[in-house]
Amino acid sequence: MPYRRLPNTDLARLRALRIAYEKGKELPPFQLAFTQATFQKVISNMHAFEKTVQESRQAYNKQVEKSKEYARLLRKAKLYMSHFIQVVNMAIARGDLSSTDRDYFGFGRDQSRVPAFSSENEVIQWGEKLIQGETLRMKKGLTPVSNPTIALVKVRYEDFMEAYRFQKILQKNLQRSQEKLVEQRKIIDGVITAIWNEVEDHFKNLPDEDRRNHAKIYGLVYFYRKNELAARNLPDNNPG
């Protein structure tokens, strides 16, 4: 015998609610297969859920859209910072700068390895160190590092930081919308369950096939089990 399956996606949930809503508007209460109390729950929850689904989708799309630009600015900041450190190391190797200049940037005097910048936090920390260190060197009248200058590094770093802060806002917005969506799904699933239970109870005295056909009009979805599909020569997961 086919079994009933509740919606498992937001689009399917909205479709189930809209069918119930249209039936509730179309039929007088004495003909409706579910109660007016349940219909009121449909009215009070459907539009709110639809809005939350839309907001969550917009928040996700916005983050995806901005993440490409964010990744580009992150790569650019890493590149300029890496080049700046390489220039410092080459100047020290040539004798144009002293190994003591590394003290200003937070490196060991014998450390010539360029940081991997493998995380956002590492980029942020080293960006601050490079900018502060070079600013202090220049205040002391030491030879500025060039090609790139710290001014160019700072521009790329600040572009990244602006995108980083905005990305964090987008992440919080998405998390908040998803948490709200999870809570509303529980409510909506309860409303749909109530509708479908009442509909099946309303048609319970009809033969099985007639009962399911009447229930389908109210949006109920039935699925055959695999052995039933084989017996009926139906495709897998074909709604009954």
Whether 183 shows a pLDDT value over 50: the answer reads yes
CATH of domain 3-232: 1.20.1260
- The DSSP letter of residue 27 is S
Give the residue extent of every domain in the chain: 3-232
Dump pLDDT digits (tens) for 44-102: 999 999 999 999 999 999 999 999 999 999 999 999 999 999 999 999 999 999 999 99
Dump pLDDT digits (tens) for 101-123: 999 999 999 988 999 999 999 99
Considering the entire predicted model, what is its pTM? 0.77
Dump pLDDT digits (tens) for 152-175: 999 999 999 999 999 999 999 999
- The DSSP letter of residue 4 is E
Burial grade of 85 (CB within 10 A; 0-12, 13-18, 19 or more): buried
To the nearest 10°, the Cα dihedral for 70, 171, 46, 194?
A: 130
Whether 149 shows a pLDDT value over 50: the answer reads yes
Kindly give, in sequence order, each residue whose CB lies less than 8 Å from that of residue 51, ignoring residues fewer than 6 positions away.
none
